[in-house]
Structure 1
Amino acid sequence: MYSWLVFIHAVSAMVSIGPFFVLIPMLRKLKTADGDLLHSYLDSFRFVVRLSKHAGHVLVASGLLLMWRGSWPWTTPWIFGTFVVLFASLLFMARAFSPTIRKLREPEHDRQALLRKLSRSLYLYLFVLFVMLWLMIMKPMLW
């Protein structure tokens, strides 16, 4: 059972991170898109955020089960560090994408400023995801 949990955990990590890379080239296309095309790109952004969120639920649940089945204590440095980064990323994700996407749907918006914010949020969130991935794979002894 433990090996299946590791597999589920790894797949959910891939599904949480991978779709965000599709959004990188889409950012350039958002600069000139109008009408239905703009809404299609924004729908894609919203879908990726939701997919990542739900894959993250599976990721956390499988991680907790792995901790329980593998007898990993909460005080293990890389586990504690991952949960600190995880909670910070949850707060960040809640404020980073959805409000900006909603503002881009409004008729009167400063597209360039909102796209800069969306781009910065995307790259920052990818960085945070990679920090968590690094903690999970490298398992550093932080203290």
Structure 2
Amino acid sequence: MCRTVLHTIFLYLHILSAIGSIGPLFALIPMLKKMEVTEEADLSGFVQAFQYAINVIKHFGHVLVVSGIFLIILSGWTWTTSWIVLTIIGMMSSVFYLARAFKPTLKTFGTTDFNKANFIANLRKSTWLYIVILLIVLWLMVAKPNLW
């Protein structure tokens, strides 16, 4: 397969995985609003949906990273280009943040440590912070700023 075709395939995979890694987060925002008015006993479906969305985001993130690596190799960009370095830092931050932001909060559901108001507030804060991190990374990938 020629280099141009491979580049196009990986570019589409990269774009689709970027959509898949940020899109579900926006679906979680109205879900959090519904969780506020739902009785505590009826929250389990929402919590399962939230966990499922986080898993989808995580798997799309894997595709995003792999396709990004191939795009860098195929495109001729160097690993020391400013927007690539900052994108890698942002992606590593998002992976670290995803693992540490949602899991501890979600684990409290159904335990004696569970407090509905705190639970929803923590999920909301984590969702918005993760969206901000991913939007910064998305901006770096699209704008490709030359910062050094």
Question: Cα offset for 1:142?
Answer: 1.5
Does residue 27 of the first structure (1) align with residue 18 of the second (2)? no
Q: RMSD value over aligned CA atoms? A: 1.3
Superposition TM-score, scaled by structure 1 size: 0.94
Matches within 5 A, 1:9-48: 9-34=14-39, 37-48=42-53
Give the counterpart of 1:2 among 1, 4, 7.
7
Q: Percent identity?
A: 37
Contact kept in structure 1, 2:40 and 2:116, CA below 8 Å = no
* Counterpart position of 2:3: none
Q: Match for 2:28: what amino acid? A: L
Residue-pair matches, total: 143
Superposition TM-score, scaled by structure 2 size: 0.91
Give the counterpart of 2:139 among 128, 134, 140.
134
Query: Structure 1 regions of 5+ residues with no counterpart?
Result: none
Runs of 4+ in structure 1 deviating by more than 2 angstroms, as ranges, are 32-37, 104-108
Give the counterpart of 2:64 among 37, 59, 67.
59
Question: Cα offset for 1:35?
Answer: 5.7
Query: Structure 2 regions of 5+ residues with no counterpart?
Result: 1-5
